[in-house]
Amino acid sequence: MYAFKTLANQYVRFIITAIGIALCLMLMLFLLAIYYGVSDASVRYVRESEADIWILQRHAANLLRGTSLLSTRHGEIIKQVDGVRSIAPILFFTATVNVPDNTASMHLVGYDPSTGKGGPPEMVAGDTLQNDDQIILDYTFAAKYKLKVGDKLPIRDDTLTVAGLCDGTNLFVIQFAFITLNKARQLLGFQSILSCYQVMVNSGSDPLAVAAKIRSVSPDLAVYDKVTFLNNNIHEAETGVMPLLYVVALIGAVVLTALLSLILSVYVLEQQKDYAIMKALGAPTKFIPGIVIEQALMLAASGLIIALLLFNPMLNAVKRFSPTISAESSFSQVLLVAAGLIIISFLSTILPLLRQRRIYPLDVFR
Amino acid sequence: MSSDNKIITAELAGVTKIFSRSGNDVVALNNVTFKTVTGEMVLLLGPSGSGKTTLLTLLAGLQQPTLGDVFIFGKRVQDYRQAELQKIRASRMGFIFQTFCLLDSLRVIDNVTLVMKFAGILPGKAKENAVDCLERFGVGHLKNEFPGKLSQGEKQRVAVARAIAGGASLILADEPTGSLPTEQGMAIIEFLHKSVKSDGISVTIASHDERISKYADRIVHLRDGILS
C-alpha cells in the first residue's frame, strides 16, 4: 500500500522511470530476438535440407565460414559407396552484384534445379529456377534493395532475371541467393570444381555407417552426418559477432540495474522522515526493506508491461526499415528477460536497503 | 511491579546518559530515577536541552542508558530482543510528536491502521479500531483525507488517535502542544487526560508549557539532566 502510494504520488517520475526500464528491456528483447533469429536463419539451409550426409574438403567444417573445394571426380567415387541413394553437388561462392544505385554482396549457391536438392529451403514468391539465366533471391535482400520477381540483376559479366524469392536464407550480414550449378561454374570460370556434396542414403541405411564407408574410400574428404554438420554450423553461427549481442544485452542489464538502484535510492532519501517515523512507531525490521523491494518490483513490472506492449510494433517497424534484420521473438525469450528482470530488481535494492539501514528512529525526535 | 494497584509501565533506575559530541562528553541525564504508572498523567517540565526528549526515548527503548537500568513493562530493556522492542512500541506504546509525524502519502485512516499493522492486528479489526478512535477525537469525518489537507489541530488529533487506537497502555508525548494554538493545544491535553482516566493508560508528556500542569497528576522538573 505504502510502496504503491509513494510511487503514485510522484506519477510523472514513475512513468518516466517505467519508460526507461521498458527501453532497456526492449533493447534486451531485441538483441535476444536478433541472436535467435540469426542463429536460426544461419542454419536453416542445412537443417531443412534432405541430405543425410554432407561432404566437404578436408578440414572444412561448416558452410558459414571457410572454404571448401572439391573435384567432380569425388562424386563418382561417392556414388559407388554402398548405401548411397543419390548425391547433389553444390557450389558456393560470394559475389558482388549491382543493385539499384548500389552494390551488394551475396552468398551464391549453385545447385541442380532438376533435382531441387541444395536449393532454397522455402519459396515465398515466384518460381524455382527454370534455366541458367535466373536467380532466386532471399526475400529480405530483395526488400532491402527493392527488387522483385522479373527484375534484372547484373552479376559480374552476366545479367540474371529474378525468378523467385525465398526465406530462411538470411545470415544477417549476408544473404544466400540461388543459381543453377552450370551458371555458378560459368560465373566462377571453373567447370570441374564444387564446394560440397549432399548425400542422400537408401531408406533403411544408417547414415553414420554410410558416412564411415565414404571416409574409408575417400580419406581426403571431410564427411559429416547431418546432426554433426548442423551442430558445426550452429556453433559457427553462435561464435564470432553473435556473442557481442549478449555483451550489449548484458550492458543493458547493468544500465537497468543502475537506473533502478538510483531511483530507489532517491525514493529512500525522500521517504527518510517517513521511515524514521515508522521505525520509531515499531515497524518490524523487514517492513521497510519490504517497501523498497515492492517498489522495485512494481517499477520493474510496469516497465515490463510497457516493453511487451511496444516490443512487437517496434520490431515490425525495424523490420520494415531494415528488412535484412532477422529477428525471432518468442515467449521463452520474454520469460528469460522477465526472470532476469526479477534478479535485477533484487540486485538494485541492495544500495537503497543499505541506505535505509542508516535511518534511525531517534531522527524523529530531533 | 505495582503500587496502589497501579502497574508500572516504564521505569528509569539511576540512569545516566552521556553523548559524545565532537570528542566532548555531554551528560544528557544524570542519575535519573523515574517511573510511569497506569492511570497517571506525568508532566515532564523543563527548558530546551534539559534532557526531556532523551528521557522519553529511553522510556521507549529507542536508546540504551550509559549507566543504570531502564525497565519497560517490567523487563530490563537490554533483555529485550530488537523484534520484541519493535512489537512493544507498536502494540503497547503510543507516540505523539510536536510535528505530528503523520505520513503524508497515506490517508488519515491508513496512518492510524499502519501502527496496528505493525502490532499484528488484523486489517478488519485495525480499521474498526481506527474509525472508532478517530470519531472519538472528533476527526472521523476526515478519515479519507490526506494529512496535507488537515489543520494543525486536526493533525494532532489524528496523531493522538494513532497513538491510542492500537490499545497502547503507555503514551509518550514530546511537546504535543508545541505547534498548536493555545486552545487546540489544551484540547489535545484534555483528550489525553480523559483517556488516562477512562482507559487507565499511562501518559508521559515532555514539555516546557506550564499550562499543561493543571491536567497532570504528577509534575517532574528536569534541568541539565537532573530530575527534581
Distance from CA of A2 to the nearest CA of B (A): 7
Q: What's the Cα-to-Cα distance from A308 to each of A26, A223, A320, rounded to whole Å?
A: 8, 45, 19
Q: What is the pLDDT along chain B (228 residues), one digit of tens a residue?
A: 444 578 899 999 999 999 988 888 899 999 999 999 999 999 999 998 899 999 999 999 999 999 999 999 999 999 999 999 999 999 999 999 988 999 998 999 999 999 999 999 999 999 999 999 999 888 999 999 999 999 998 999 999 999 999 889 999 999 998 888 888 889 889 989 988 998 899 999 999 888 899 999 999 999 998 988
pLDDT of residue A294: 96
Half-sphere exposure of B225 (CA within 13 A, CB side): 14
**Cβ A282–B93 below 8 Å, yes or no?**
yes
Domain residue extents for chain B: 2-223
pLDDT band at A257 (very low <50, low <70, confident <90, very high): very high
pLDDT of residue B37: 94
For A268-293, what is the mean pLDDT? 95
pLDDT tens readout for residues A282-334:
999 999 999 999 999 999 999 999 999 999 999 888 888 877 777 888 899 99
Query: What is the chain A residue with the closest CA to B172?
Result: A281
CB proximity under 8 Å: B 46-65 to A? 53, 56-57, 60, 62-63
| Alpha carbon distance B64, A61 (integer Å) | 75
The verdict on A364 touching B (C-beta cutoff 8 Å) is yes
The cell numbers describing A198, all together, are: 549432399
**Cβ A280–B89 below 8 Å, yes or no?**
yes
**Cβ B90–A285 below 8 Å, yes or no?**
no
Give CA A223 to chain center in angstroms.
27
| Alpha carbon distance B49, A266 (integer Å) | 33
Query: Is the predicted pLDDT of residue A48 greater than 70, yes or no?
Result: yes
Percent of chain A scoring above 90 in pLDDT = 54
If 0-12 CB within 10 Å is exposed, 13-18 middle and 19+ buried, where does residue A297 land? middle
If 0-12 CB within 10 Å is exposed, 13-18 middle and 19+ buried, where does residue B131 land? middle
pLDDT of residue B154: 93
Q: Which residue among A1, A2, A361 sits closest to B62, beta carbon to beta carbon?
A: A361
The cell numbers describing A346, all together, are: 533484487
Distance from CA of A276 to the nearest CA of B (A): 10
The verdict on B150 touching A (C-beta cutoff 8 Å) is no
The verdict on A102 touching B (C-beta cutoff 8 Å) is no
In DSSP terms, B202 is beta-bridged to B170
Q: Which residue among B110, B115, B174 sits closest to A281, beta carbon to beta carbon?
A: B115
Query: Is the predicted pLDDT of residue A92 greater than 80, yes or no?
Result: yes
Contact A211, A225 (CB under 8 A): yes
Q: Which residue among A273, A277, A362 sits closest to B62, beta carbon to beta carbon?
A: A362
Distance from CA of B62 to the nearest CA of A (A): 7
**Cβ A283–B118 below 8 Å, yes or no?**
yes
All residues of chain A having their beta carbon less than 8 Å from the beta carbon of residue B87 are 282, 284
pLDDT tens readout for residues A117-164:
889 988 999 999 999 999 999 998 898 888 999 999 988 888 999 999
The verdict on B161 touching A (C-beta cutoff 8 Å) is no
**Cβ A285–B86 below 8 Å, yes or no?**
yes
A vs B, Cβ pairs < 8 A, gives: 64
The verdict on A161 touching B (C-beta cutoff 8 Å) is no
pLDDT of residue B1: 44
**Cβ A282–B97 below 8 Å, yes or no?**
no
pLDDT of residue A241: 65
Domain residue extents for chain A: 2-42+241-365, 59-219
Q: Is the ipTM of this complex over 0.95?
A: no
pLDDT of residue B2: 45
Contact B161, B134 (CB under 8 A): yes
- Nearest residue to B166 (alpha-carbon basis) of B112, B202, B203, B204: B112
pLDDT tens readout for residues A208-254:
999 999 999 888 889 999 999 888 888 887 776 677 888 888 899 99
| Alpha carbon distance B192, B205 (integer Å) | 10
The verdict on A205 touching B (C-beta cutoff 8 Å) is no
**Cβ B83–A285 below 8 Å, yes or no?**
yes
- Give the residue with greater pLDDT, A170 vs A338: A338
Which CATH topology does B2-223 take? Rossmann fold (3.40.50)
pTM to 2 decimal places = 0.80
> Any alpha helices (H) in chain A, and if so which ranges?
2-9, 11-47, 73-79, 139-144, 181-188, 207-217, 226-238, 242-270, 272-281, 287-321, 331-348, 350-357
- Which H or E run includes A107? strand A102-111
The verdict on A274 touching B (C-beta cutoff 8 Å) is yes
Contact A60, A90 (CB under 8 A): no
Q: Which residue among B57, B87, B106 sits closest to A282, beta carbon to beta carbon?
A: B87
All residues of chain A having their beta carbon less than 8 Å from the beta carbon of residue B89 are 280-282
Residue among B89, B103, B116, B149 with most chain A CBs within 10 A, to mutate: B103
Please spell the DSSP secondary structure of A24-74, one letter per residue.
HHHHHHHHHHHHHHHHHHHHHHHHTS--SEEEEETT---SSSS---EETHH
CB proximity under 8 Å: A 3-42 to B? 5-6, 9
| Alpha carbon distance A168, A136 (integer Å) | 13
